[in-house]
């Protein structure tokens, strides 16, 4: 049974689990409702990683962060390691909500500011963060975690891109990189 908006679960409950004075509640009603609830609130995620990655001559033009390991994914997420993307399949939901998290250890020249931006379908959307390099031997952590919504019943593809806002084009080293999309049950707005 597919995920459903919470508003649909409420309607299903009102329509199939009504006052039982006439014996209208059946085992099938209860079983179907319970399966729908479990499917709706079951964890859903797409998680990718790479142990180390060099962003060659990183400058003001954003570069997609790519990965080499798919750590886990459930059926509503499609991972493409070489493109650095995780796609969220709407699966006929009227809206989708994702919790998006990104983590990386970064080594960059002292004072160079590196921006990590979240893109959906190739468009920069709110979310991300800026970290300042502390020298190639000094690792700093870059991280962000945000929620995104899509209210159009469409499948959307997410990626993280890095760019520099200060300093010249230099190699930037990333390590212990994780990109995680998690499903959040939707109310059906």
DSSP string covering the chain: -----HHHHHHHHHHHS--GGGS---HHHHHHHHHHHHHHHS--EEEEEEEEEEEEEE-SS-EE---SEEEEE-TTEEEETTTTEEEEP-TT-S-EEEEEEEEEEEE--TT-EEEEEEEETTEEEEEEEEEE---TTS-EEEEEEEEEEE-SS--EEEEEEEEESSS-SEEEEEEEEEEEEEEE-----
**Model confidence, pTM:** 0.89
The answer to which of 37-46, 69-78, 172-181 has the lowest mean pLDDT is: 37-46
**12-65: per-residue pLDDT in tens?**
887 777 766 677 778 888 888 888 888 888 899 999 999 999 999 999 999 999
């Amino acid at each position: 049974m597919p995920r459903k908006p919470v508003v649909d679960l409420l309607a299903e409950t009102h329509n199939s689990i009504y006052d039982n004075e006439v014996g209208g509640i059946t085992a099938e009603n209860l079983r179907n409702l319970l399966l729908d609830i479990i499917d709706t609130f079951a964890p859903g995620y797409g998680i990718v990683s790479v142990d180390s990655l060099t962003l060659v001559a990183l400058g003001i033009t954003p570069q997609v962060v790519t990965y080499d390991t798919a750590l886990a994914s459930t059926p509503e997420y499609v991972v493409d390691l070489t493109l650095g993307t995780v796609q969220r399949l709407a699966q006929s939901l009227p809206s989708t909500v994702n919790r998006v998290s990104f983590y990386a250890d970064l080594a960059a020249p002292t004072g160079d500011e590196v921006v990590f931006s979240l893109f959906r379908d190739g468009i920069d959307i709110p979310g991300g963060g800026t970290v300042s390099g502390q020298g190639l031997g000094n690792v700093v952590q870059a991280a962000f975690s945000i929620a995104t919504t899509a209210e159009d019943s469409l499948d959307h593809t997410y990626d993280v891109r890095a760019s520099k806002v200060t300093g010249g084009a230099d190699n930037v080293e990333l390590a212990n990189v994780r990109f995680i999309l998690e499903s959040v049950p939707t109310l059906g707005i």
